[in-house]
């Protein structure tokens, strides 16, 4: 077994030794062919540069690299074609034309198929590898630039091999040297247009509001490389492949390319204006949203184009998700309510357009909470069923209660949507929560009661949340003695309140614990108000309107009122904590005294009268007897 294995290895090694020289010869041959190919070709390196104006016309292409042009940026994606015009060139020479004349003859000879076509790379350079011989003669080529919008193409160039270095003489002239150049460097001269304007408008999804502070970068693809505006020089924007060093354009500002920097000025709220852009296509990318706003995935990048000879700015509008909360009492006519009356509230907020966006593989929005904060005088009706039940809607679609929870806390509650359900909400839609509250026993007519709503989605909030206010009304009265002094209070007068001045009007009922207001036709169930030691009585918790006070029992020795007293409850009828309205006076009259029909007084008068008569009679009799005597 071992002997067979050793024999196989020996055979393999022998075969390898036999074919190795063949591979070695092939390798040598390939290198020789490449070397020969390199000897038979000449590189022409074109350096395409961005220029606003043509450089000094006295600058001569020398055929070698020229540092004078390093100050210009490279112009990418410019196409050049090389045409073999050797035959036409030598025919012109045969007709007696000079070299310069023959070059002029073939300069525009681009009718045949080009021998090579290439575009400049991201730095504005390209390399043409051209055969040095054509049909046994020194080759001659016309190199033509393909026109491109926004670029004034350079004149066609004629290159005749061999090419020798141009050497500047002491008198400023140039002469050919003795050194053949390979490669040959040429710098075609032309200018570009950079008069394009771009206007970016940034708005929020909540109210289409203009947003300052959004940051953008501008990029383009040149020569297969993505470049970002970094700065400006000589009136042109400069570019970098490093996104981290890209210039950030900010909404609320205007920008122009100056000689050595990007110049910034104050602009229109929520807008960016970028001037001096070259003709071409760009990517406008938002990299940072304003405070209290959020990026929307399909809104972050926009492709725009600056066209040649356009007279108006290229405009785009980019959205950010923002939050707006509305809170209303849709069933109230005004804002006054009775204590215990069910108050319907409605919270409405916009659903982010990017509600289904992801960060990597994770949902961006992992919470969506509606937050209610209210004064302690308000009580939330936390009931899932019945006439005052709460309900959550996506637009007009009722959301099943299994997709959210409600958690009460001190003076408030939170409606939390299930994280797994959040992405099912309608992007850009409206979330609506209806619920009921009521004023409780702590409410009084001296102030309003606020109920604030907001949203917490982990990214944005409404910085000016709505705080609708409800109020309740009241009225104070004082019972006084109308006969003695209207400042003299009367204790113990009893009253009920009715909602109309008629015998079948309803009676006011105030729950002794909750202070909730209701009405009844049963007089025995009506709440009775009694004047205190100061003659005062207060009626609290009524909504605004007209009511009637009916006295049911007057104080002792006073006459009960024969008619009802009309009174009005409004925002001014009770007052404020700092200044209560003076109570309305309710005068009562004494019952008085009637003429007497008997008693000790008249007896005395009768006795005195009788005594007077007796005395007079006695005096008369005595006087008469005396005369007789």
Q: Concatenated DSSP letters for 501-534?
A: SSTT--EEEE-TTT--EEEES-GGGSPPEE--TT
Look at residue 249 in the predicted model and tell me its pLDDT: 98
The lowest-confidence range among 126-140, 403-417, 568-582 is 568-582
Where are the CATH 2.60.40.10 domain residues in the chain? 41-191, 193-320, 473-588
Query: Which segments of 366-458 does DSSP mark as H helices, in order?
Result: 419-422
The lowest-confidence range among 50-64, 194-208, 297-311, 408-422 is 50-64
At 312-359, the pLDDT tens digits run: 999 999 999 999 999 999 998 888 999 999 999 999 999 999 999 999
What b/e readout covers 409-422, taking b as 16+ CB neighbours within 10 angstroms? eeebbbbebeeeeb
Write the Ramachandran bin of 623: left for phi over 0, alpha for psi from -120 to 50, otherwise beta.
alpha
Look at residue 624 in the predicted model and tell me its pLDDT: 54
For the segment 245-257, the average pLDDT, to the nearest whole number, is 98
CB 52 within 8 A of CB 193: no
pLDDT exceeds cutoff 70 at 224 = yes
φ, ψ for residue 109, nearest 5 deg: -85, 85
What is the rounded CA–CA span in Å between residue 294 and residue 604? 106
CATH architecture under which domain 193-320 falls: Sandwich (2.60)
At 530-559, the pLDDT tens digits run: 999 998 999 999 999 999 999 999 998 899
The lowest-confidence range among 416-430, 570-584, 612-626 is 612-626
- CA quadruple 63, 67, 71, 77: dihedral positive or negative? positive
What is the rounded CA–CA span in Å between residue 359 and residue 353? 15
Look at residue 36 in the predicted model and tell me its pLDDT: 39
The lowest-confidence range among 59-63, 253-257, 353-357 is 59-63
Q: CA distances (Å), 305 to each of 116, 218, 219, 283, in order? A: 30, 12, 12, 9
Look at residue 173 in the predicted model and tell me its pLDDT: 84
Q: CA distances (Å), 135 to each of 86, 92, 456, in order? A: 8, 16, 80
- Taking the whole predicted model, whether its pTM rises above 0.85 is answered as no
Look at residue 194 in the predicted model and tell me its pLDDT: 87
CA dihedral 533, 535, 539, 545 (to 10 degrees): 180
Residue 491's pLDDT band (cuts 50, 70, 90): very high
At 1-54, the pLDDT tens digits run: 454 445 544 544 444 444 444 344 434 333 333 333 457 999 999 999 988 887
At 409-455, the pLDDT tens digits run: 999 999 999 999 999 999 999 999 999 999 999 998 988 999 999 99
Q: Considering the chain, what is the average pLDDT of its residues?
A: 88
What is the rounded CA–CA span in Å between residue 253 and residue 236? 19
Looking up tokens 């008198």, which residue turns up?
Answer: 171
The answer for residues whose C-beta is within 8 angstroms of residue 531's C-beta and 6 or more apart is 477, 478, 479, 489, 490, 491, 492, 493, 494, 537, 555
Query: How large a percentage of the chain has pLDDT more than 90?
Result: 68
Query: How large a percentage of the chain has pLDDT more than 70?
Result: 86
What CATH homologous superfamily does 41-191 map to? Immunoglobulins (2.60.40.10)
Fold of domain 473-588: Immunoglobulin-like (2.60.40)
φ, ψ for residue 68, nearest 5 deg: -60, -25
CB 486 within 8 A of CB 480: yes
Look at residue 18 in the predicted model and tell me its pLDDT: 41
Residue 485's pLDDT band (cuts 50, 70, 90): low
For the segment 112-137, the average pLDDT, to the nearest whole number, is 95
Which CATH number among 1.10.1200.10, 3.20.20.70, 3.20.130.10, 2.60.40.740 corresponds to the domain 325-471?
Answer: 2.60.40.740
Look at residue 106 in the predicted model and tell me its pLDDT: 95
Look at residue 371 in the predicted model and tell me its pLDDT: 96
Look at residue 51 in the predicted model and tell me its pLDDT: 84
For the segment 443-469, the average pLDDT, to the nearest whole number, is 91
């Amino acid at each position: 077994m071992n002997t067979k294995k050793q024999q196989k290895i020996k055979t393999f090694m022998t075969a390898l030794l036999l074919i190795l020289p063949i591979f070695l010869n092939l390798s040598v041959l390939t290198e020789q062919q490449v070397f020969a190919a390199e000897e038979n070709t000449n590189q022409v390196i074109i350096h395409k540069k961005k220029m606003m104006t043509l450089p000094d016309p006295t600058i001569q292409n020398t055929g070698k690299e020229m540092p004078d042009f390093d100050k210009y940026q490279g112009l990418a994606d410019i196409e050049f074609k090389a045409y073999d015009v050797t035959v036409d060139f030598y025919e012109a020479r045969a007709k007696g034309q000079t070299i310069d004349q023959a070059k002029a003859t073939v300069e525009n000879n681009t009718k045949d198929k080009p021998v090579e076509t290439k575009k400049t790379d991201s730095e504005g350079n390209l390399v043409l590898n051209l055969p040095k011989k054509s049909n046994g003669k020194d080759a001659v080529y016309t190199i033509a630039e393909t026109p491109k919008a926004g670029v004034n193409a350079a004149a066609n160039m004629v290159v005749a091999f061999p090419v020798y270095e141009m050497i500047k003489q002491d008198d400023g002239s140039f002469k050919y040297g003795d050194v053949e150049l390979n490669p040959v460097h040429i710098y075609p001269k032309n200018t570009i247009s950079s008069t394009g304007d771009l206007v970016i408008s940034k708005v929020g999804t909540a109210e289409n509001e203009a947003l300052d502070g959004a940051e953008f970068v501008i990029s383009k693809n040149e020569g297969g490389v993505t470049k970002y505006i970094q700065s400006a020089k000589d009136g042109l924007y400069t570019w970098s492949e490093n996104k981290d060093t890209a210039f950030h354009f900010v909404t609320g500002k205007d920008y122009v390319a100056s000689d050595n920097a990007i110049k910034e000025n104050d602009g229109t709220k929520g807008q960016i204006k970028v001037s001096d852009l070259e003709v071409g296509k760009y990517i406008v990318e938002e990299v940072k949203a304003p405070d209290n706003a959020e990026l929307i995935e399909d809104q972050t990048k926009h492709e725009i184009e600056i066209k040649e000879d356009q007279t108006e700015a290229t405009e785009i509008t980019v959205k950010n998700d923002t939050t707006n909360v509305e809170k209303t009492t849709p069933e109230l006519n005004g804002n006054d309510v009775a204590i215990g009356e069910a108050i319907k509230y409605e919270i409405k907020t916009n659903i982010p357009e990017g509600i289904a966006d992801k960060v990597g593989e994770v949902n961006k929005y992992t919470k969506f909470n509606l937050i209610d904060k209210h004064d302690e005088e308000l009580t939330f009706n936390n009931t899932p069923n019945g006439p005052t039940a709460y309900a959550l809607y996506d637009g007009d679609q009722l959301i099943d209660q299994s997709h959210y929870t409600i958690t009460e806390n001190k003076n408030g509650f939170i409606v939390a949507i299930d994280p797994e359900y959040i992405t099912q909400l309608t992007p850009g839609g409206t979330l609506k929560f209806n619920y009921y509250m009521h004023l409780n026993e702590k409410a009084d007519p001296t102030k309003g009661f606020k109920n604030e709503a907001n949203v917490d989605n982990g990214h944005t909030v409404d910085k000016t949340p709505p705080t609708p206010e409800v109020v309740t009304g009241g009225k104070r009265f004082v019972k006084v003695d109308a006969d003695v002094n209207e400042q003299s209070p009367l204790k113990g007068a009893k009253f009920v309140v009715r909602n109309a001045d008629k015998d079948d009007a309803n009676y006011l009922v105030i729950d002794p614990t909750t202070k909730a207001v209701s009405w009844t036709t049963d007089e025995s169930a009506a709440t009775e108000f009694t004047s205190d030691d100061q003659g005062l009585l207060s009626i609290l918790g009524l909504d605004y309107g007209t009511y009637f006070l009916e006295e049911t029992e007057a104080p002792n020795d006073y006459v009960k009122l024969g008619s009802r007293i009309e009174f009005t409850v409004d925002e001014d009828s009770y007052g404020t904590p700092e200044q209560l309205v003076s109570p309305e006076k309710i005068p009562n009259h004494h019952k008085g005294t009637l003429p007497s029909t008997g008693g000790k007084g008249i007896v005395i008068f009768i006795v005195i009268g009788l005594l007077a008569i007796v005395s007079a009679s006695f005096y008369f009799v005595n006087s008469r007897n005396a005369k007789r005597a």
